[in-house]
Amino acid sequence: MGLFKILERNFKKSPNKIALIIDNKKYSYKEFFELTINTINNLKKNNFKKKSIVIVIEDNSLAHILSIFALSYLNSTMVPTGKYYSSNHLFEIAKITKINGVIGNSKYCNYFRKKFHLKTYLCTNKTKRFPYFYDKNEKKLNLKKKINTKKNFIITMSSGSTAKPKPIVFTQNTKIIRFILFKNLYKINKKDVIIVTCPIDHSLGMRILLLPLLIGATCVVMKKFLVSSYCNLIKSHNVTFSVLVANQIYDLIKEKKHFNDFYLKKGLVSASAKLFENEKKKITKKKINLHEMYGTTEVGTVTSINISKNKKFYKSVGKSYNKKINIKILSDQNKFLPNNKSGEIVCKTPAKFKYYLNSKKLNDNAYFKGYFKTGDIGYLDKKKYLYFLSRKKNIIRRNGITIYPEDIENVILQNKNIKEVAAIGSETRKKTLIYLFVKKNLKIDEQCIKNIFLKKLSTFQIPNKIIFLKDLPKTNLGKINKKKLANFIR
How do the domains of the chain map onto residue ranges?
A: 27-148, 171-391, 395-489
Three-state secondary structure call for residue 416: coil
| Cα 297 from Cα 146, distance rounded (Å) | 28
Say if residue 63 is exposed, middle or buried (CB neighbours under 10 Å; 0-12, 13-18, 19+): buried
Q: Which long-range contacts (CB under 8 A, 24 or more apart) does 148-154 make?
A: 148/75, 149/1, 149/2, 149/173, 149/176, 151/50, 151/75, 151/77, 152/77, 152/354, 153/71, 153/72, 153/77, 153/78, 154/77, 154/78, 154/79, 154/80, 154/206
pLDDT in tens, 408-455: 988 888 888 888 899 998 877 667 889 999 998 888 889 999 888 888
27-148 and 171-391: identical CATH topology: yes
Q: Percentage of the chain with pLDDT > 70?
A: 97
CATH 3.40.50.12780 fits 171-391, yes or no: yes
| Cα 247 from Cα 279, distance rounded (Å) | 11
CATH number of 27-148, picked from 3.40.50.280, 3.40.50.980, 2.102.10.10, 1.10.287.70: 3.40.50.980
pLDDT in tens, 268-306: 999 987 788 888 999 999 999 999 999 999 999 999 999
Mean predicted lDDT score pLDDT of the chain: 92
Q: Could you give the angle at the alpha carbon of 18 between the alpha carbons of 15 and 19, nearest 5°? A: 85
**Strands, E assignment, 10-130:** 18-22, 25-28, 53-57, 77-81, 101-104, 121-123
pTM here is 0.87
Per-residue confidence (pLDDT) for residue 162, from 0 to 100: 39
Residue 119 · residue 101 · CB < 8 Å: no
How far from the centroid of its chain's Cα atoms is residue 53's Cα?
22
Three-state secondary structure call for residue 114: helix
| Cα 382 from Cα 385, distance rounded (Å) | 7
**Strands, E assignment, 51-90:** 53-57, 77-81
Angle between helices 3-13 and 62-74 (to 10 degrees): 110
pLDDT in tens, 320-379: 999 999 999 999 999 999 999 999 999 999 999 999 998 899 999 999 999 999 999 999
The set of residues, in sequence order, having a beta carbon less than 8 Å from that of 462 and lying 6+ positions away, is: 434, 453
- Confidence tier at 253 by pLDDT (50, 70, 90): very high
Instruction: Give me the architecture of the 395-489 domain, per CATH.
Output: 2-Layer Sandwich (3.30)
403 membership: H or E segment, kind and range: strand 401-403
pLDDT in tens, 125-150: 999 999 999 999 988 888 888 899 99
Q: How far apart are the first and last CA of the chain?
A: 52
